[in-house]
Amino acid sequence: MKIAPGIHRIGDRSIVNSYLVEDAGQVTIIDAGVPGHYRDMPAELAAMGRTVADVRALLLTHGHTDHIGFAERLRRERQVPVSVHEADAALARGEVPNPAKGYGPTRLGPLLGFLWYTILRGGLRVPKLQEVATFGDGATLDVPGSPRVILTPGHTPGSAALHVPSLNALFVGDAFATYAVTTGAHGPQVAPFTADAAQAVASLARLEDVPADLALPGHGDPWTGGIQEAVRQVRQAAATRD
Ligand SMILES: [Zn+2]
């Protein structure tokens, strides 16, 4: 579905998000969702007037399986280069275990909904990346949209937000979520499956002053209430939970 000019999202639901970013007829994909999203990609590209031949790069906000879904397939079948922050490369390659500590608080209905959604789309058997390039904090990437990397460790060590100034958009990955797949709670909050919640909250200071009206998370709806307000709500929710 169309999110904003130049930005589409694969899938009509906002449980697991994969974004398509267009710049001068070329496309960067930000996060690869779950494997089943691959079959939805051609129709979404067509809605942008593009095809998979226009996809120049796939950027991963971090190395969790519900973000690398179709990455290996796109790399292997279409020779699209895949990149992730250097601190999450081993996770994306499946060489280290998920650093997340358990599920945190859960509510059965939303959790089952998330699991069912991912299982139906191949989420239990996500191919690890055989090859992944890396980027560092502060880099401006030479791909469509020219995203700038903002490292936000906590959710995982290599979690990174990607700022696309020309689209007025900040892709936050799981630096925060606007929907908790484990509890069904809506609104800006620390994402489920976060390795170090205190570090994740501290990292939000790196996002506060980013000039973008649109924050696009890995899970949940787009946030249009301003980055500073999102950060304030995440901090508040985290403080209430402690
Ligand atoms: Zn994650």
- How do residues 55-71 score in pLDDT, each as one tens digit? 999 999 999 999 999 99
Report CA(155)–ligand 1 centroid distance (Å): 7
Report CA(64)–ligand 1 centroid distance (Å): 5
Report CA(194)–ligand 1 centroid distance (Å): 7
Report CA(77)–ligand 1 centroid distance (Å): 25
Distances (CA, A) of 112 to 12, 149, 163, 183, 187: 19, 33, 32, 10, 20
Altogether, the residues listed in the chain come to a count of 242
Contact 97, 43 (CB under 8 A): no
At 99-139, the pLDDT tens digits run 987 777 889 999 999 999 999 999 999 999 999 999 999 99
Rounded CA-CA distance 71/215 in Å is 23
Q: Is the model's pLDDT at 11 over the cut of 90?
A: no
pLDDT of residue 13: 87
Contact 44, 35 (CB under 8 A): no
Report CA(49)–ligand 1 centroid distance (Å): 30
Report CA(50)–ligand 1 centroid distance (Å): 28
Question: Whole-number mean pLDDT of the chain?
Answer: 96
List of residues 6+ apart from 61 with CB closer than 8 A: 30, 31, 67, 159, 160, 161, 162, 171, 172, 173, 174, 175, 218
Q: Is the dihedral of CA 183, 184, 185, 186 positive or negative?
A: positive
Report CA(174)–ligand 1 centroid distance (Å): 5
Report CA(63)–ligand 1 centroid distance (Å): 7
Q: Is the model's pLDDT at 223 over the cut of 90?
A: yes
Report CA(195)–ligand 1 centroid distance (Å): 9
Q: Is the model's pLDDT at 12 over the cut of 90?
A: no
Report CA(26)–ligand 1 centroid distance (Å): 27
Report CA(79)–ligand 1 centroid distance (Å): 25
Contact 149, 136 (CB under 8 A): yes
Rounded CA-CA distance 57/19 in Å is 12
Report CA(47)–ligand 1 centroid distance (Å): 28
Nearest one of 28, 31, 18, 77 to 55, comparing CA atoms: 28
Q: Is the model's pLDDT at 242 over the cut of 60?
A: no
pLDDT of residue 158: 98
Give the mean model confidence (pLDDT) for residues 226-232. Answer: 97
Q: What is the DSSP-derived secondary structure letter of residue 75?
A: H
